[in-house]
């Protein structure tokens, strides 16, 4: 884990100190140890217990692997939807890996990330075949561009992998995900504390923010990938917190959704070039120019919409998230109903 997000600030921890190591004396719980539910109004959470948090993260990764496995059988009915589900599950797995990266040896972290990445990439071609025709159909094209687009789709249809090949790719991806779940279970320490999670969130956000500042199409695509992982991470953590963190999740999820259409057009540019057999180069270039025109507009709109969501530096977002979680989990007398403000 890149150490640049570790600022040693007590305000980044749930307990007002910089670590929750089990080698130190833990702060007393706000309820008796034997009363696991706590008094009325006190919300208990895995975020309070490093061992429980570790188990919750492992279970979340295993659930993602199970979703990838379920997609194999689902491909018999709808291969395109199954591929989408499998890729989504693999992305969730990578997001969870990012959350716990600071607790893993570097070699193990790299191995799990590479396996998940390879599994997703193996399904990219099938995904593109499903999305490209829909994206082209939605584009406002003149008669000449529409004719070119129709030829591209016809060429691509001839290259679509067979159903048995798609199912095999899904099975291989599911097997990789299951293997990485076992690897994660073995490599994680017994305890995973809040500092690890908040550093993982800050790292992912920082990578997304860095990519958002770049102007190339490849960086835009990277921005969306990291943003999707950040949204999955916040969704998982918010499930153990409450409405304040859910509000942060919703804010970033809304922005991330605006990036999808532009990313589809980025893919479409390459798709058109790949399946342009038998087409005049001028016709292909004309269609790509039309795609570029719409893509530039979408990228401009998305950057404007995301400006506020990504204006904070990672350390300030980490502080904001920690304060939100602390308030979400505090007894009613210790937290009012006001939403957590931005820390500018």
Query: What is the pLDDT averaged over residues 17-31?
Result: 43
Superfamily of domain 46-328: CHAD domain (1.40.20.10)
Q: How high is the pLDDT of residue 334?
A: 55
DSSP string for residues in 43-93: PP-GGG-HHHHHHHHHHHHHHHHHHHHHHHHHTTT-HHHHHHHHHHHHHHH
Structural tokens at position 341? 């403000």
Q: How high is the pLDDT of residue 143?
A: 97
| 108-117, 156-165, 277-286, 324-333: least confidently modelled range | 324-333
Q: How high is the pLDDT of residue 331?
A: 85
Residue 37 pLDDT more than 60? Answer: no
Q: How high is the pLDDT of residue 100?
A: 97
Structural tokens at position 285? 């270039």
pLDDT over 90 for what percent of the chain?
Answer: 83
Structural tokens at position 179? 């293997």
| Residue with the larger pLDDT of the pair 30 and 108 | 108
Decide if 71 contacts 86 (C-beta within 8 A). Answer: yes
Q: What is the pTM of this model?
A: 0.86
Q: How high is the pLDDT of residue 340?
A: 54
Whole-number Cα distances in Å, 271 to 2, 32, 78, 152, 290: 35, 61, 22, 8, 14
Of 177, 152, 181, residue with least CA distance to 55: 181
Rounded CA-CA distance 43/245 in Å is 14
196-212 pLDDT per residue, tens: 999 999 999 999 999 99
Of 58, 51, 192, residue with least CA distance to 112: 58
Domain assignments of the chain as residue spans, ordered by start: 46-328
Q: How high is the pLDDT of residue 332?
A: 76
Whole-number Cα distances in Å, 159 to 102, 134, 276: 42, 17, 12
252-308 pLDDT per residue, tens: 999 999 999 999 999 999 999 999 999 999 999 999 999 999 999 999 999 999 999
Query: What is the pLDDT averaged over residues 316-341?
Result: 80
Could you tell me the pLDDT band of residue 44, with boundaries at 50, 70 and 90? confident
Of 5, 16, 1, residue with least CA distance to 318: 5
Q: How high is the pLDDT of residue 333?
A: 65
Q: What is the mean pLDDT of the chain?
A: 88
């Amino acid at each position: 884990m890149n150490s640049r997000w570790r600022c040693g600030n007590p305000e980044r921890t749930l307990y007002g100190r910089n670590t929750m190591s089990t080698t130190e004396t833990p702060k007393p719980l706000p309820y008796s140890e034997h009363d696991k539910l706590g008094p009325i109004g006190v919300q208990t959470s895995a975020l309070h217990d490093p061992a429980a948090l570790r188990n919750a993260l492992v279970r979340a990764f295993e659930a993602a692997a199970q979703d990838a496995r379920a997609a194999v059988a689902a491909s018999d009915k709808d291969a395109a939807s199954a591929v989408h589900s499998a890729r989504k599950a693999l992305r969730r797995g990578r997001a969870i890996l990012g959350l716990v990266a600071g607790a893993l040896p570097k070699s193990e972290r790299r191995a799990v990330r590479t396996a998940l990445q390879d599994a997703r990439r193996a399904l990219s071609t099938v995904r593109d075949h499903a999305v490209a025709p829909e994206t082209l159909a939605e584009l406002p094209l003149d008669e000449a561009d529409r004719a070119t687009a129709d030829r591209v789709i016809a060429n691509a249809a001839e290259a679509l992998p067979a159903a048995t090949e798609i199912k095999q790719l899904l099975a291989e991806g599911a097997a990789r995900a299951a293997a990485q779940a076992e690897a994660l279970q073995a490599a994680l320490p017994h305890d995973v504390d809040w500092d690890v999670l908040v550093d993982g969130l800050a790292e992912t956000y920082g990578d997304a923010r860095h990519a958002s500042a770049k102007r190339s199409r490849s960086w835009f695509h990277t921005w969306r990938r990291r943003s999707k992982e950040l949204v999955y991470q916040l969704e998982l953590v918010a499930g153990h917190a409450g409405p304040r963190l859910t509000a942060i999740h919703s804010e970033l999820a809304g922005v991330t959704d605006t990036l999808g259409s532009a990313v589809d057009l980025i893919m479409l540019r390459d798709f058109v070039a790949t399946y342009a057999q038998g087409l005049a180069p001028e016709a292909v270039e004309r269609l790509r120019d039309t795609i570029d025109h719409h893509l530039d507009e979408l990228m401009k709109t998305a950057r404007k919409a995301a400006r506020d969501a990504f204006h904070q530096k990672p350390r300030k977002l980490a502080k904001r998230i920690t304060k939100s979680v602390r308030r979400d989990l505090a007894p009613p007398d210790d937290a009012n109903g006001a939403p957590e403000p931005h820390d500018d």
